[in-house]
Structure 1
Amino acid sequence: MASAAALLLAAAVVALLACLALADPPASEQSALLAFLAATPHERKLGWSASTPACAWVGVTCDAANSTVIKLRLPGVGLVGPIPPSTIGRLRNLQVLSLRANCVSGAIPDDILRLSALRSVFLHDNAISGAIPPGVSGLAALERLVLSHNNLSGPIPFALGGLAARSALRLDGNRLSGKIPSIANPGLKVFNVSDNRLNGSIPRALSRFPADAFAGNLQLCGTPLPPCSPFFPSPSPAPGTGPSDGKPPKKKKKVSTAAIVGIIVAAVVAALLLLLAILFCCKRSQRGARVDGAKGTAAAATGTTRPPASSGDGTGTASSPKDDAGTSGSVAAAAAGGGTGEASRLVFVGKGAGYSFDLEDLLRVSAEMLGKGSAGTSYNAGEECVSQC
């Protein structure tokens, strides 16, 4: 009886091993892998064939029962181009995806982000472009996300802060911009966002990582990097968070745009008023100079000494113009030339040449100015001068 039982047990084990050897993932998963390989150029031959079990293919790992694919590792096999949609995304039980060190380009397909069992994604050292899709928040079981050294751009999604099970996040060597979201995850052991275009202050929850994890971002500041400048304040905390001491944050006084514009306008108006005042003073000074010059010229032409009486030859001046009222004629006043050294004097021409008149006598009558010349100004006093002077 004992020998019969042993034989039955051995037969059962052999049958089980045979079943396991013949087990294979579903046909949908096998066709998804073949479609991925056919649509993606690759340098190395992988030897995938529908005539062999998929669990035995290079880079493909199945579960213990060989019933489904749980890992796909194809590092450095020369894959070129984008990941075709509806290929890898059909591996519903996939836990590990590694396509590192290839030439994979394009964006990350959305169907990969719907693999709820995915725990590790290694896509670093490729040419993947575009933004990190927000759908990454749907990977609830994700623990390691490595997207280093690609061409990713745009901000880091805030959804990454909600993945509590994550232990490694590497986004270094891309073109990511904007601020770093606060990731308050004590289980995060590996973090690196260096060599990007990030700005703002480093969240307090991530300040425990070394400076190398943030290096290469010129506009990034805060612990462990140098402190932020007071002219570029730190971003406001997320809603529901506040300072650790419980005190309300102090409001910083900032000069409003309207105040700056008002200051500029006031300065311009003051400058214009000052310029107008200067121009007014200059005009007034020039006008005063012209008036003083005209007065000086009149004084030089009229303010003279009375010349001595002539010898009575008919061309000189008499000693008393008021003694004889019967004489009339034309009177000309002129300044003597500066070259003769004589003072300015009044010269009388005509019938009144034999008499001497001063300026006061001439001002009492209505004299008529005949003209101005190089020798002085000429007046015509006529008969009125003889009768009144």
Structure 2
Amino acid sequence: MLRLPAVGLFGPMPSNILGKLDAFEVLSLRSNRLTAGLPTDVASIPYMHSLYLQRNNLSCTIPTSLASKLAFLDLSYNSFVREIPLKVQNMTGLTRLSLQNNSLSGPIPDLHLPKLRYLNLSYNNLSGPIPAALQKFPANSFLGNAFLCGIPLEPCPGTAPPPPNAPIPPDKGQKPLKIAMVAVGTVIFLIIMLILVVWIYKRKRYKPEYNSGDHVQEPEAVGRANKSKPEYSDGIEAERNKLVLFEACSYDFDLDDLVRASGEVLGKGSYGPTYKAGLEDGTTVVVKRLKEVVVGKNVFEQQMEIIDRLGQHQGVVPLRAFYYSKEEKLLVYDYITPGSLSSTLHG
């Protein structure tokens, strides 16, 4: 194996030197300034399966004595001329052939290479119809050759376009089956819609309401210390004090402290209101209540971990804690004093 990419090599490749190293399997001299032609003894090293010589100044013709075991051949971005040798057909194990951006001319040989997965012959001077065995490759494999034609490019002059495929008559035995499948699918859809409507009705019927205004007298998740428990507190009672604090959080409070905090509405979004909460120890945080989010606990915790990682960016307010239950989902952030976005981002 010899790999010397982009190391400043220049001049012609030496003959009768590299070719004597017949155990080479990989030769990579790409992105140098090699000139003249490709020596035949280098191209025919018997055990070589990968030859990378792209982005040099190689010229002349591509040797016909190419190693039959080659799987990767890249001679792109050089100045090779004349035709693509038919001997390429002998490389039955070839999987990648890159000859783009040269000065190759003439027709493309009818290459039957069963393992070929990548082909690029674009931006040469090739002409004539594209062989049938190569028509499976996309159009960008042949772009920049003004006189090439045929699939996947424009049809060749004087050839009739292929007839459209005749429509296949439907199987009469499948028609009742399709009707039955549609009917079953419709019934399932109606049942799901009915369950959804009943669930939404019950949720709206028992969902506690908030007082509107700039200040909340009895918010469900952020109440005042001298007030009675808000209506949602029964739903929290079963999982009290299970507020999850992230490792970077320096606060020392629990769910009880959050429930007793004084609250002020900062805004209302599509997923629920946001409060400024003043804790008894003087700490001020922001609590986001997710009213319209229905998600399982595992998924919710995974999303919180993602938000926590995003909060490590200096331009994002970090998530400090969260609370999850079927009735309530709360996010706790640092409180940022009001100011312009510019001063917050740039100090």
Q: Tell me the TM-score normalised to structure 1 length.
A: 0.40
More helix by share: 1
Whichever of the two has the greater Rg, that structure is: 1
Q: Tell me the TM-score normalised to structure 2 length.
A: 0.45
